[in-house]
Amino acid sequence: MEVSRLPVSASTRGKLISAGYTSFSSLSNFSPSELAIAVKIPEKEADEILKLATHDGKSDNTKGTQAVVSGGQTAWDMLKEDEGLRCITTSCAALDKILGGGINCKEVTEIGGVPGIGKTQLGIQLAINVQIPHEHGGLAAKAIYIDTEGSFMVERVLQIAAACLSEYYELPRRGSNANQPNRQPQDLLENIYYFRVCSYTEQIAAINYLGKFIKEHKEVKIVIVDSITFHFRQDFENMALRTRLLSELALKLMKVANEFKLAVVLLNQVTTKYSEGSVHLTLALGDSWSHASTNRIILHWNANERYAYIDKSPTLQSSSAPYAVTGKGIRDSVSDHKRAKLM
């Protein structure tokens, strides 16, 4: 029945079907007021239904030109478009290398790891690095940080911002004019939009609101959610509802990433999984959530060093790279020899 695929409420749909209107052609000859009387629904709803039905009828009649479906792009056009997109560096050369340059725009990247491995640090580093100006290969854009755990420490962000500024001011800039005023770390903080959510409904609301917010603030090029798991892990009675809400969340984030061509970074926690007698760590939120991201990076310890491992990616090979969390933020890890001496 064609009417069953209209995005209307169940009761309206039931009324339409019991009145005998099951296809779009049967709705075509009616005006909103006639339909409202025949089906006993408010006129505004009848108007909406007719708009949806006739829009579908119109698109049925258009002749396909180059693309068979409207809104589709050929692979060639997409390739050319993607060549112009830049990556967001993580400030760690080894990590950037395995990521193919950094965190890609238009993709949802999930980063998970045990507590204390540096997820929030990486999130903060990315929020600062997205603001690197064009001359140094950055995007000169703003960031949105959705904090669910309360681990966003402003003093630490200031510290990382100061380190980032000092590094980039040391490099000689091509074509720079000496009269440019020095940027303060506080200026970098101004470009991070911070949302604090305290329950899963607030989290869903914040993500629903993202589309509207980004339309008004087009300079945003990264959305970081730290962490996406927190409110969904404790005390969720209905697992089926949780799966539905999470899949819907995932689709919305994918849509935002695609529509506004920005990067979405989701930080996740780990849980233990018991399979075939052995116990190992996997990312939280279950098997169905593992399909919610385009890329997945797992952070883990390996003999006193922090490693990042690419678990899932459509373009990148599975590989791992070491990194370190320093006073300045995320940086390359120094060799073992040196680390042993410092310890």
Query: Footprint of other proteins on this chain (CB under 8 A)?
Result: 1, 4-7, 10, 13, 19-23, 25-26, 29, 56, 59-64, 67-76, 78-79, 82, 106-108, 240-241, 243-244, 247-248, 250-252, 254-255, 257-258, 274-276, 286-288, 290-294, 296, 311-312, 314-315, 318
- Could you tell me the smallest distance in angstroms from the CB atom of residue 51 to other proteins? 13
Output 183 or 252, the one with its CB closest to other proteins.
252
> Which pair of structure tokens corresponds to residue 151?
């681990």
Among 193, 260, 189, 271, which residue's Cα sits nearest to residue 230?
271
- Could you tell me the smallest distance in angstroms from the CB atom of residue 258 to other proteins? 5
Output 69 or 343, the one with its CB closest to other proteins.
69
- Could you tell me the smallest distance in angstroms from the CB atom of residue 156 to other proteins? 31
> Which element (helix H / strand E) includes 236?
none
Among 107, 113, 151, 131, which residue's Cα sits nearest to residue 253?
107
Strand-strand pairing, 108-113 and 263-268 = parallel
- Could you tell me the smallest distance in angstroms from the CB atom of residue 112 to other proteins? 12
- Could you tell me the smallest distance in angstroms from the CB atom of residue 21 to other proteins? 7
Output 100 or 185, the one with its CB closest to other proteins.
100
User: Do residues 328 and 160 touch, judged by C-beta distance below 8 A?
Assistant: yes
Torsion of CA 98, 104, 107, 110, to 10 degrees: 50
Q: Distance (Å, rounded) from C-alpha 189 to C-alpha 210?
A: 20
- Could you tell me the smallest distance in angstroms from the CB atom of residue 173 to other proteins? 30
- Could you tell me the smallest distance in angstroms from the CB atom of residue 53 to other proteins? 11
Output 255 or 339, the one with its CB closest to other proteins.
255
Output 142 or 296, the one with its CB closest to other proteins.
296
Output 22 or 159, the one with its CB closest to other proteins.
22
> Which pair of structure tokens corresponds to residue 128?
């600062």
Output 6 or 161, the one with its CB closest to other proteins.
6
Phi, psi for residue 89 in degrees, rounded to 5: -75, 155
Q: Distance (Å, rounded) from C-alpha 127 to C-alpha 210?
A: 16
Burial of 77 (0-12, 13-18, 19+ CB in 10 A): exposed
29-59 b/e with 16+ CB inside 10 Å = b? ebebeebbeebebeeebbebbbebbeeeeee
